[in-house]
Chains A and B, each alone.
Chain A
Amino acid sequence: MSNDVMIVEGCSTRVRREGQGEPLLLLHGFEGRDWPEELIERLASRYQLIIPDHPGFGASDDPKWLRSIDDLAYFYLSLLEQMSMPSVRVLGHSLGGWVAAEMAIRQPRTISSMVLVAPFGLRLPGVLTGDVFFWTREERITNLFHDSALAAARINNSSTKEELEQQLKNNYAAARLGWEPRFFNPTLERWVQRIACPTGLVWGDDDKVVPPSYVDVWRQKLPHAQPFLVKDCGHLVHIEKPKELAEIAFRALGES
């Protein structure tokens, strides 16, 4: 493995690299980069993984230009150009799934196939996404998981000062991208049908952040997309069901 720092659009960006083969870009959610090693290992057995911290998150810089989801989409298109990768697979979770969709409507040929795991980005009128900025720490953790034992463990595991600062940094970036309209882009709603690549839509059946009924909005706009419902699983599919997610990714992304 390696941990590279790339300068993209003036932003020092932490990018972890794993595996060999055709590239697969992993885009993390609003909680920051939290892919479990089990998932990384499985995916790295088939693909060359590109695993960044988004600008504004984790160990990457927090650039002044980061103000909306558009900025993040254009940033990743620039990053791929800089890496001389004209076409990649993408797996994006939550906020990261939203970014993948935004990239795809702007430059459809850049993404050969993608898996969106409980993505934000579209609106289902009458069904609110969870208010992640309003919830207390305990509520937020509880609502991220299906498995209450996993939630309890995380709640009881008090954060270090560094971790706390990291969470605040991530939260601040997430707010700029998704506070209002709440994790939703009306432009994506109007143009999402431009996504033509093979697309997998993965949802935990007990997702309390982006309710599973959101899959219907995506399927209406993208009739070709393939839905996968993961049983006994919350918003963090990659953490609660890494093996299942890897299997789904292999099916939906195609052979390397």
Chain B
Amino acid sequence: MEVYAFNLMPYRHLDFEAARQHRALWTVLPNTLYDPERGADLYQEYIDQMVYAASLGFDGVCVNEHHQTAYGLMPAPNLIASILIDRTRGTNVKIPVIGRALPLVNNPLNIAEEFALLDNLSKGRLIAGFVRGIGCEYHATGVNPAFSHERFHEAHDLIVRAWTEDGPFSFEGKHFNFRYTNTWPRPYQRPRPDIWIPSQGSGETITWAAEPSRKYPFIITFSPIASVLKYHMQYRQQAETYGYAASGSQLGWAVPIYVAETDEIARKEAKAHIEMLFNTFLKVPIEMLFPPGYTSAASLAANLAGRQGMSVQDQTIDSLIEKGTFVVGSADTVVRQIKEAQAVSGFEKLIMMYQFGTLPDDLARKNLQLFAEDVMPQLGRAG
């Protein structure tokens, strides 16, 4: 199994009492609640943690993109990736950016260029994740969510062509038109960097990602284990429909994991921080989360949301454990849960969100260390 460490880089020093006066920690949370002194230290803390993870034997360290939120402090994840690339120079540690939100930019060639540059800087250690961004980010950027899918597919086609076709060539689309497409530098990897598709799961995305010319690894993020496995199996079925058998490396699970000396200690140490992630950082009114046209699941979501108008009901560590949204416990407990899930779908990519909510530096580092020492060796590592 390939194992990656992932950090959203939440602003864990937030004044949560003040923050809860606002409808969400997204888009309208006043940026006066961000303290640059503490924030600057936090970036250093998180970057050092990821470099530490790289030294412990993780296959890669992942960053991602979010805008106008305390949930994740990387509006420009490639800047952080660039630092991680340099601080892991000479290793074979992968740097997955999972991902850049393609529809949110008006010139996707910027993303093609930046990724190509990172691929050169890392001598081929970049993994390029493509996402659509979450609903709030259509409010934050002004980009029309009704054209989100169109823009995603068109930007994807443009970027892949820019990486794999000899330039210059012209590109003619509905949203993007370029007379000269001629990306300097070209990517280091031939024909191109690996592409991953992180997703909360959608049939349409699976059909697209599993298509034989793509075979993109499909990474289900932060969902109950039952739906993670359901989507994995759906991907496998789709591959069969296309006439091939999907490999386990095409299937990924991104999940918060916390390991401690015993189950009891693990739950006690993780409780406040994981509940903060789900009940405060992720609590968003449905209208912000599912703007019109963003997803056909909006209908379902609206039904579920009912009167309260909130997308996420309050969760406890117990309900998160029960649903398998959060994996927590002693090394043996964590190994067992991962292996049980793996036995069902055969996924080969595990993305461990080792820092979550307000988890402090010492616990985040202990989590990484115990996972690397006591869990990783039991996961059937190819190394």
Q: Decide if A191 is an interface residue (CB 8 Å cutoff).
A: no
Tell which of B4-12, B121-129, B136-144 binds the partner.
B136-144
B309 touches A165 (CB 8 A): no
Which of B285, B293, B298 sits near A136, CB closer than 8 Å?
A: B285
The answer on a CB contact under 8 Å between A137 and B309 is yes
- Of the candidates A134, A168, A175, the one whose C-beta lies within 8 Å of that of B144 is A175
- Residue A175 contacts which of B146, B285, B302, B309 (CB distance < 8 angstroms)? B146
Q: Of B23, B142, B147, B309, which is within 8 A of A176 by CB?
A: B147
Interface size of B as a range: 20 to 34
| Contact of A168 with B287 in the complex, beta carbons under 8 Å | no
A168: which of B23, B145, B285, B298 is its contact (CB, 8 Å)?
B298
- Determine if B247 is an interface residue (Cβ-Cβ < 8 Å): no
Give the residues in chain A near B307, CB-CB below 8 Å: 158
A134:B287 contact, CB within 8 angstroms:
yes
A164 adjacent to chain B (CB < 8 Å)? yes
Q: Which of B4-22 contact A (CB under 8 A)?
A: none
Shortest Cβ distance from A171 into B: residue: B292
On whether the beta carbons of A135 and B291 are closer than 8 Å, the reply is no
Secondary structure class of chain A's binding surface, majority of residues: helix
Q: In chain B, residues 216-237, which have Cβ atoms closer than 8 Å to a Cβ of chain A?
A: none
Assembled-state Cα–Cα distance A136/B310 (Å): 9
A174 to B299, CA, bound (A): 16
Contact with A along B126-159 (1 / 0, CB 8 A): 0000000000001100111111000000000000
Tally of chain A residues near chain B (CB < 8 A): 19
Docked-complex contact B146 and A172, CB < 8 angstroms: yes
Which residues from 180 to 224 on chain B have a C-beta closer than 8 Å to any C-beta of chain A?
Answer: none
Find out whether the CB atom of A179 lies under 8 angstroms from the CB atom of B146: yes
CB interface residues, A 131-182, toward B, < 8 Å = 133-138, 158, 161, 164-165, 168, 171-172, 174-176, 179-180
Within 8 A of A (CB), among B260-293: 285-288, 291-293
Q: Given A134-B139, A161-B303, A164-B302, A175 and B287 touching (CB < 8 A)?
A: no
Q: With A133-B287, A134-B287, A135-B287 as given contacts, are A175 and B299 in contact (CB-CB < 8 Å)? A: no
Interface string of A203-216 (1 = CB under 8 A from B): 00000000000000
How far is it, in angstroms, between the C-alpha of A161 and the C-alpha of B144 when the chains are bound? Answer: 26
- In the bound complex, do residue B292 and residue A168 qualify as a contact, i.e. CB atoms below 8 Å apart? yes
- Measured between C-beta atoms, what is the minimum distance from B91 to chain A in Å? 43
The answer to whether B298 and A175 touch across the interface, beta carbons within 8 angstroms, is: no
Within the complex, the shortest CB–CB distance from B93 to chain A, in Å, comes to: 40
Chain A residues with CB under 8 A of B146: 172, 175-176, 179
A62: min CB distance to chain B, Å: 11
The reply to whether B291 and A175 contact each other, CB–CB distance below 8 Å, is yes
- B287 contacts A179, CB within 8 Å? no
Q: When the two chains form their complex, are residues A174 and B292 in contact, meaning their CB atoms are under 8 A apart?
A: yes
Contacts of B309 in A (CB 8 A): 136-138
Q: Nearest chain B CB to A127's CB is how many angstroms away?
A: 18
Which A residues are in CB contact (< 8 Å) with B299?
Answer: 164-165, 168
Within 8 A of A (CB), among B293-317: 293, 298-299, 302-303, 307, 309
Q: Beyond A133-B291, A165-B299, A172-B293, list 7 extra A-B contacts (CB 8 Å).
A: A161-B303, A164-B302, A171-B292, A175-B293, A176-B293, A179-B145, A180-B143
Lowest 5 A-B CB distances belong to which pairs? A175-B292, A179-B144, A171-B292, A175-B146, A176-B146
Q: List 15 A-B contacts (CB under 8 A).
A: A133-B291, A135-B287, A136-B23, A136-B285, A137-B287, A137-B309, A158-B307, A161-B303, A164-B299, A172-B146, A174-B292, A176-B144, A176-B146, A179-B292, A180-B144
